[in-house]
Structure 1
């Protein structure tokens, strides 16, 4: 089996939030998601509609 590289590029950055990184629920904090300027609008629509599937 041969493997091929997968290129991953960030589509957004989260601003604000907690001072420490943790993988569990840490409620009570408001953060802003800033999408990259070159992120196409249809990418956002796919992300927001994913929970409806």
Structure 2
């Protein structure tokens, strides 16, 4: 399973932070939330096999 790229996590965390009204002191919280979202997104993507290409 692939790990989300650091730049993707940071980009998503920034989006979440902006949507929440840019609260101070919550950077780690948004980073972890973004990381979890991207990991879950990766798990939900369909597995491509020769049968469904």
Instruction: Please give the TM-score of this superposition, normalised by the length of structure 2.
Output: 0.29
Greater helix share, 1 or 2?
A: 2
Q: Which has the larger radius of gyration?
A: 1
**Structure 1 length-normalised TM:** 0.29
Structure with higher RCO (Cα < 8 A, 6+ apart): 2
